[in-house]
Amino acid sequence: VKMANALPRVVLAPIFALWLGLGIWSKVALGVTLVFFIVFFNVYQGVKEVSPTVLANARMLGMNDRQLMRHVFWPSALSWMFSSLHTAVGFALVGAVVGEYLGSAAGLGYRIHQAEGVFDVTGVFSGMLVLAVFVIIIDTVVTAIENRLMVWRPAPASGQT
């Protein structure tokens, strides 16, 4: 898994376009490969970080494997997963745009590629701005879901000094 993580995954875009065609699935495959390792290693670390004392106490209280998963492992992995999702959202959209940039007849990447071809700097920057706004909107949705699922987490400090 670590060896596959070391590969520059953006260069897989032309390979996915050859294998899966220029449709949506090549873009999805590129987005998934860009995001998978980020989320996988963070969730793995979250499960690994469960305190042996907490695990022993939960077993002593009679928790079965299902209860351990729901009350011990899942909350631990959830915080790590959401921290990685904030990064992964941007990477997934970049993967989709790169896929559209390299081979598509529609989409934001296609529009950026067209604007670049005629030296339309305004078009390129407007495409990048649309992408940035879209990432911020999706990150806000991820934050809302995170706040909903992690109600047990303490509130952040107010920032007063």
Q: What is the CATH number of the domain that holds 47?
A: 1.10.3720.10
CA–CA gap between residue 44 and residue 51 (Å, rounded): 14
Instruction: Indicate whether 136 pLDDT > 60.
Output: yes
CA–CA gap between residue 24 and residue 103 (Å, rounded): 11
Q: Do the domain assignments include residue 122?
A: yes
Query: How many distinct structural domains can be found in the chain?
Result: 1
Mean pLDDT over each residue of the chain, to the nearest integer: 86
Instruction: Indicate whether 161 pLDDT > 70.
Output: no
Q: Do the domain assignments include residue 156?
A: no
Q: pLDDT: is 139 or 98 the higher one?
A: 139
Instruction: Indicate whether 79 pLDDT > 60.
Output: yes
Cβ contact 103:115 at 8 Å: no
Instruction: Indicate whether 74 pLDDT > 60.
Output: yes
Q: Do the domain assignments include residue 37?
A: yes
Element (H, E) at 110: helix 108-117
Model's pTM, two decimal places?
A: 0.74
Reported as a pLDDT band with limits 50, 70 and 90, residue 153 is confident
Q: Do the domain assignments include residue 158?
A: no
Q: Do the domain assignments include residue 48?
A: yes
Instruction: Indicate whether 15 pLDDT > 70.
Output: yes
Provide the pLDDT for residue 139: 92
**Can you give the residue range of the structural domain that contains 132?**
2-149
Q: Do the domain assignments include residue 154?
A: no
Q: Do the domain assignments include residue 31?
A: yes
Paired tokens of 55? 């695990």
Please state which of the ranges 65-74, 101-110, 143-152 shows the lowest mean pLDDT: 101-110
Query: Which tens digit of pLDDT belongs to each residue from 32-52?
Result: 888 888 888 888 888 888 888
Q: Do the domain assignments include residue 60?
A: yes
